């Protein structure tokens, strides 16, 4: 099983939408995919899969508290998307009591890694995608230890570029084999310029600048509680969806899967 983690310096860069779209794109290409919501402060993956504001239970949060087995937190969303045993969601649950307990007492990261690996084995996953909490949180960074490819999502603004540069210095310690910077929400007509500029800016860093993802006014309009399905499954011809397919192909080729 290959692990792809998506991270960013700032919040709101598009991480969750990108990872969910890639999960669908991978499942469409025949891969067996698990998607983990590890952003326990702002769990949102279940919302953009069209499951409403409450995640299906139990979740990763309950697993970390030792309240259930790893296999119980895997929710098969394949049928909703016309797949069979291809797409699994591992959601998180925002529950104040639980979050306080986790923040106060912490949790054992090894327990999380073992659980995710067990899920990968039992469901025979090809790829596990991990959506993270943004920023420089230490626990989150530990995911990089089990990551084969890291997507660092960034908007093309000064603060995010500077922050991403700082982030990369820390990430360098984790020896992640493949690192992509994914500029998101870029005006279509600016994509080429932005890519060239960023290649220059990050040329000293050991990182690949992926082609920017376009700003999509349709995606920007998607809001809970009206989200009934993944955007990419509803609007496969939207420029954002098409760019996601390219990103999928680039990634699978680079990873040799
Ligand atoms: N390429 C894009 N074009 C337009 N809106 C986008 C794009 N990518 C993400 N968004 C919007 O930006 C907001 C934040 O996205 P989200 O995936 O939740 O970011 P994060 O997980 O990094 O916090 C959402 O409202 C989403 O619909
Ligand atoms: Mg998110």
Residue holding tokens 């932005």?
A: 194
Q: How far, in Å, CA of 19 to CA of 158, rounded?
A: 24
- Greater confidence, 245 or 101? 245
Domain containing 238 equals 2-255
> pLDDT category, 5, cuts 50, 70, 90?
very high
CA of 181 to the centre of ligand 1 (A): 16
Q: Which domain CATH number covers 207? A: 3.40.50.300
Range 36-40 average pLDDT? 92
Closest among 128, 150, 130 to 27, alpha carbons compared: 128
* Angle ∠(94,25,118) on CA atoms, nearest 5: 55
Structure token digits, residue 185: 């929400």
CA of 237 to the centre of ligand 2 (A): 23
Atom of ligand 1 nearest to the CA of 20: 17
Q: pLDDT tens-digit profile of 213-244?
A: 999 999 999 987 789 999 999 999 999 999 99
Q: Is 184 in the pocket of ligand 1 (CB under 6 A)?
A: yes
Q: pLDDT tens-digit profile of 57-70?
A: 999 989 988 899 99
Q: What is the DSSP string of the chain?
A: -EEEEEE-SSSSSSHHHHHHHHHHHHHHTT--EEEEE--TTS--HHHHTT--SSPPSS-HHHHHTTSS-GGGG-EE-TGGGT-SS-EEEE-----HHHHHHHHHH---HHHHHHHHHHHHHHTT-SEEEEE---SS-HHHHGGGGG-SEEEEEEESSHHHHHHHHHHHHHHGGG--SEEEEEEESB-GGGHHHHHHHHHHHTTTSS-EEPPPPBP-HHHHT--TTS--S-HHHH-TTSHHHHHHHHHHHHHHHHHT-
> pLDDT category, 109, cuts 50, 70, 90?
confident
Residue 139: predicted pLDDT: 79
State the total domains in the chain.
1
> pLDDT category, 99, cuts 50, 70, 90?
confident
Range 183-187 average pLDDT? 98
Range 2-22 average pLDDT? 97
State how far Cα 213 lies from the chain centre: 15
> Which among 5, 7, 10, 17 is the best mutation to test ligand 1's pocket, defined by most ligand atoms within 8 Å of the CB?
17
């Amino acid at each position: 099983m290959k692990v792809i983690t998506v991270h960013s310096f700032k919040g709101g860069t598009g991480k969750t939408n990108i990872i969910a779209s890639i999960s669908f794109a991978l499942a469409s290409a025949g891969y067996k995919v698990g998607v983990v919501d590890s952003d326990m402060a702002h769990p949102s993956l279940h919302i953009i899969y069209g499951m409403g504001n409450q995640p299906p239970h139990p979740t990763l949060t309950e697993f970390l508290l030792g309240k259930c087995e790893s296999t119980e937190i895997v929710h098969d969303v394949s049928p909703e998307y016309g797949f069979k045993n291809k797409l699994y969601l591992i959601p998180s649950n925002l529950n104040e009591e639980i979050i306080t307990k986790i923040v106060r007492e912490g949790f054992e990261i090894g327990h999380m890694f073992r659980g995710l690996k067990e899920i990968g084995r039992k469901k025979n996953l090809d790829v596990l995608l991990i959506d993270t909490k943004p920023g420089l949180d230490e626990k989150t960074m530990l995911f990089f230890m089990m990551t084969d490819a890291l997507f660092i999502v960034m908007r093309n603004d000064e603060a995010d570029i500077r922050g991403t540069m700082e982030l990369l210095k820390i990430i360098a310690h984790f020896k992640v084999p493949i690192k992509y910077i994914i500029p998101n929400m870029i005006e279509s007509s600016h994509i080429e310029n932005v890519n060239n500029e960023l290649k220059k800016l990050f040329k000293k860093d050991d990182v690949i600048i992926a082609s920017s993802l376009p700003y999509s006014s349709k995606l920007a309009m998607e809001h809970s509680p009206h989200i009934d399905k993944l955007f990419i499954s509803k609007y496969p011809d939207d420029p954002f969806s098409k760019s996601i397919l390219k990103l999928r192909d680039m990634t699978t080729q680079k990873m040799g899967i």
